[in-house]
């Protein structure tokens, strides 16, 4: 028997969330509670997030115990939790329906007139954050789900009372195919998550299916400069609004730079729409801002709110985030974990006037490192000094017998550090006044930078 999650996102239903401390599970718990559900959860570890949920009256059990699902009407899990998990196994045995996190967000989305879903291999968190700032400036009181912390919210989510929900929408495991976007933004399509997708064509197919979820009266906002995106959306029977640096329905004109920060006119339909001055550096952020402006325009947001919202955006957490100083060197952290993202980051910082760029990079997953090995080698030659932490395993086992040391051997002057403590120690030895020190990766490399800053206090 197939269960519909819509029947369970209702007041007084009991929902148990497995992995409730996760980046998009904890806000889901809050949103479900806000809709009148009785929410419980479990997680492997105590954390600030778990403590916060408990202050809201949401009980959280540490560890995965079969008895935790007793009394639940449904169970919601993250993609990392499989059928052999003790709680999931107990729920299935008891006939309690088990849903994926993405299905729950999809069900919630249907309660909003506008669902703005931001997808793409790179730039999702930043662009979702930009959209959030714009809709806040427009006083549209949006609900928001971002895969990182946005300083303006003090969190990665917001429960609003307006008619719009804004969601970062991830392609991994085809999660975003459970969504119901009225505006679907596709920033770019690149080869990634090759532990799940077969190849680039498989990824393109997934993004096309995502675009096809948009109703006929909705909009697909797509990057005219990205060949893979345009190929994925070829002959799509939806309204496609393109954006690009110099081409597209929405594009930039009169682009100027001040200390690495761009200002430009947003042109829509050949007419000037807004004049934007960004508080984040890099040409890639011009593209992200154009995507956000295009999406906002599709939903009737005025130009003044686009200008105000984008000017107020100073970056999302772990997106070129300033951590502090160490002996005259500036320490920043960034989430980049794909060669294209690394290239965008390293190209941007080259123009910021530092004496040297020292990049401490922690590759994320063995499969990504293996599949994109040559690309990583090339891009990691860009910094003045590259320090390599060991690969962050995430959900994987090292069946490929690969190490960051393999990358280090191919990069002149690179330093391999088996532990984060050694990364911090190496950065202490390298640091000079005028340097930019970057900790980069999607794992826990930021801890090395934080330890470095603390050592300098």
Please tell me the predicted confidence (pLDDT) of residue 251. Answer: 98
Residues 262 and 325 in one domain: no
Per-residue pLDDT tens for 383-411? 999 999 999 998 789 999 999 999 999 99
In a domain, 388, yes or no: yes
Tell whether 42 and 172 lie within a shared domain: no
Side-chain half-sphere CA neighbours of 390 within 13 A: 11
Residues 341 and 215 in one domain: no
Q: How many structural domains is the chain composed of?
A: 3
Cβ 75 vs Cβ 88: under 8 Å: yes
β-pairing, 329-334 with 321-326? antiparallel
pLDDT at 57: 96
pLDDT of residue 56: 94
- If the chain, 457 residues long, is cut into consecutive pieces of 10 residues, what is the mean pLDDT of each piece? 84 95 87 92 92 96 96 92 95 96 92 95 93 97 86 84 93 86 95 77 93 97 96 96 97 93 95 96 95 98 98 85 94 92 91 93 95 96 97 91 97 97 97 97 93 92
For the chain, report the end-to-end CA distance as a whole number of angstroms: 60
CA distance 147 to 94: 33
Burial profile 81-96: b = 16 or more Cβ within 10 angstroms, e = fewer:
beeebbbbbbbeeeeb
Residue 155 sits at φ, ψ, to 5 deg, of -165, -175
Q: What CA–CA distance (Å, rounded) separates 438 from 46? A: 29
223 & 278 share domain? yes
Determine, yes or no, domain membership for 106: no
- Asked, for residue 107, whether it belongs to a domain, the answer is no
Predicted pLDDT at 296: 98
What per-residue confidence (pLDDT) applies to 1?
A: 54
Residue 247 lies in a domain: yes
Q: Does 133 lie in the same domain as 46?
A: no
pLDDT, tens digit, for every residue of 134-156? 999 999 999 999 877 788 888 88
Q: Where a domain ends, among 51, 78, 100?
A: 100
pTM here?
0.81
CA–CA separation, 267 vs 21, rounded Å?
Answer: 42
Do 425 and 443 belong to one domain?
Answer: yes
283/171 same-domain check: yes
Asked if residue 235 and residue 137 are part of one domain, the reply reads yes
For residue 424, the enclosing domain spans 321-455
Q: Which of 292, 312, 332 is the last residue of a domain?
A: 312
Within 10 A of 279 (CB to CB), how many other CB atoms are there?
12
Active site residues: 124-125, 168
């Amino acid at each position: 028997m197939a269960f519909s999650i819509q029947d369970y996102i209702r007041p007084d239903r009991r929902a148990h969330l497995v992995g409730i401390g996760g980046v998009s599970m904890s806000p889901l718990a809050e949103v479900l509670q806000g809709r009148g559900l009785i929410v419980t959860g479990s997680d492997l570890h105590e954390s600030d997030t778990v403590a916060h949920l408990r202050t809201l009256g949401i009980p959280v059990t540490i560890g995965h115990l079969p008895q935790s699902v007793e009394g639940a009407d449904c169970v919601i899990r993250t993609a990392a939790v499989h059928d052999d998990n003790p709680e999931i196994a107990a729920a299935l045995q008891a006939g309690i329906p088990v849903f994926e996190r993405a299905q729950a967000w999809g069900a919630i989305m249907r309660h909003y007139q506008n669902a703005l879903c931001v997808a793409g291999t790179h730039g999702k968190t930043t662009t979702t954050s930009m959209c959030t700032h714009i809709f806040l400036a427009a006083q549209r009181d949006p609900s928001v789900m971002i895969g990182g912390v946005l300083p303006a919210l003090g969190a990665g989510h917001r429960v609003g009372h307006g008619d719009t929900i804004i969601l970062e929408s991830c392609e991994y495991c085809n999660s975003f195919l459970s969504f119901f976007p009225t505006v679907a933004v596709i920033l770019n399509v690149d080869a990634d998550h090759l532990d799940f997708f077969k190849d680039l064509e498989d990824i393109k197919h997934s993004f096309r299916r995502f675009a096809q979820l948009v109703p006929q009266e909705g909009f697909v906002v797509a990057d005219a400069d990205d060949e893979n995106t345009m190929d994925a959306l070829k002959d799509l029977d939806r309204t496609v609004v393109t954006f690009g640096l110099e081409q597209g329905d929405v594009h930039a004109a009169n682009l100027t730079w001040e200390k690495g920060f761009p200002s430009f006119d947003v042109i829509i339909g050949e007419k000037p729409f807004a004049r934007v001055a960004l508080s984040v550096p890099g040409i890639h952020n011009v593209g992200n801002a154009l995507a956000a402006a295009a999406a906002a325009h599709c939903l009737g947001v005025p130009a003044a709110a686009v200008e105000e919202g984008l000017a107020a955006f100073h970056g999302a957490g772990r997106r070129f985030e300033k951590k502090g100083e160490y002996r005259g060197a500036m320490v920043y952290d960034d989430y980049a974990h794909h060669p294209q993202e690394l290239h965008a980051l390293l190209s941007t910082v080259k123009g910021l006037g530092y004496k040297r760029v020292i990049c401490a990079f922690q590759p994320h997953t063995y499969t990504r490192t293996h599949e994109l090995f040559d690309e990583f080698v090339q891009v990691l030659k860009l910094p003045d000094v590259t320090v390599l932490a060991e690969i962050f395993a995430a959900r994987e086992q090292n069946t490929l017998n690969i190490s960051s040391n393999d990358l280090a051997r191919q990069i002149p002057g690179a330093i391999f550090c088996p532990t984060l403590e050694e990364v911090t120690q190496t950065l202490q030895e390298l640091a000079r006044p005028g340097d930019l020190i970057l900790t980069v990766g999607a794992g826990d490399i930021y801890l090395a930078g934080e330890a470095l800053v603390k050592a300098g206090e």
